[in-house]
Structure 1
Amino acid sequence: MKLMALAGQAAALLLCAGAASAATPEAKALFEQAKAAAAAQYKAARDQCNASEGNPKDVCIAEAKAARVRAEADATAHYRNTLRAYTKARIDIANADFALDRTRCAALAGNERDVCVERAKASRTAALADARADKKVIEARSDAREDKRIAEYKVAAEKCDALAGTAKDQCVAAAKSQFGY
């Protein structure tokens, strides 16, 4: 389940990483609404945890916290709509999942507990590494796109050198317009 969630987050990250943030009033309202909904869901889930005792109560509370972190991180990432925000959201979610896993491990004893804790650490390490790697891949692709755009502009500008006068000026203007200069 976590793997599918991480894959979905990675896909969202790849789709939205290059877009500029559009902090419209509607986007801000949706962001505030999402945060309020996350807080309300957390409070309701936390209230349900009071029926339990001991480790099951601790796990219930940790699950509620992880769900709140996930919802708030996703809302913040979508609102800011930057690569940095999406990466931070994935890191926050990985840390919340780690805290939940550690709480689940507390019910175990001896070697089982040690194995559980190490598995939780390994999962967090993998999630953090994936988040950082995805960020680097997206940055590299963005840099490559920019390099290609510059090279294509240079080719178009070079073609304009064969012309003279107004035709050359129009050709250069068209190349600048086409490649964003």
Structure 2
Amino acid sequence: MYIKTVTAIALCAASAFASAQTMTKSEYDAAKDRIEMNHKTAKKSCDALKDNAKDVCKVEADGKEKVEKAELENKYKATPGNARKVEEVKADTAYDIAKEKCEDQAGDAEKVCKADAKAAHERAKNAAKGKA
């Protein structure tokens, strides 16, 4: 009786895990293509901007693509490693954007801005790795 119960629980858990991954390879490929198409559109919209605003726009577009691809990969193959990768990519993207925005400032203000961005990046990376 005990073994049958344990076996039934194990089968239910395996079934639940299998149904959690509902994305097929073709759905994954289609989603990846959409992300790449949206990225191209976002980068084209940056062409109308000038100076650092254009640079920020491009970094934001690149970062959004990286985050969406990491999230897609985690959705397709949900693992603790992929979940951690999503958080790390988000931290890196936020840092890249913050650094680019700091370039609108000059002198000490720019240095302080970049130092603050780096400190926030380190905190976010440590949080993604499970460190406090």
- TM-score of the pair, normalised by structure 2: 0.78
Query: Which of residues 31, 39, 55 in structure 1 aligns to 2:28?
Result: 31
Q: Does 1:49 align with 2:33?
A: no
Contact kept? 1:87, 1:131, Cα under 8 Å: yes
Shift of 1:65: 0.8
Runs of 4+ in 1 over 6 A off after TM superposition: 21-25
* Aligned sequence identity (%): 27
RMSD: 2.2
1:66-81 matched pairs, under 5 angstroms: 66-81=63-78
**For the residues of structure 1 that align with 2:54 and 2:45, how far apart are their CA atoms?**
9
Which of 1 and 2 has greater Rg? 1
Q: May I ask how many residue pairs the two structures share in their alignment?
A: 116
Deviations 1:138-171 (A, max 9, x none): xxxxxxxxxxxxxxxxxxxxxxxxxxxxxxxxxx
What's 1:112 paired with? 109
Taking a change above 3 Å as real, the CA distance of residues 21 and 91 of structure 1, as seen in their structure-2 partners, is farther
* Structure 2 unmatched runs, 5+: 1-15
**For the residues of structure 1 that align with 2:18 and 2:54, how far apart are their CA atoms?**
40
Q: What is the SS of the residue equivalent to 1:40?
A: helix
Shift of 1:25: 8.6
**For the residues of structure 2 that align with 1:104 and 1:36, how far apart are their CA atoms?**
29
Contact kept? 1:20, 1:81, Cα under 8 Å: no
* Structure 1 unmatched runs, 5+: 1-18, 135-181
Deviations 1:60-85 (A, max 9, x none): 10111111111111001111100011
Q: Does 1:95 align with 2:82?
A: no
Deviations 1:48-103 (A, max 9, x none): 10011210100010111111111111001111100011101211221122111111
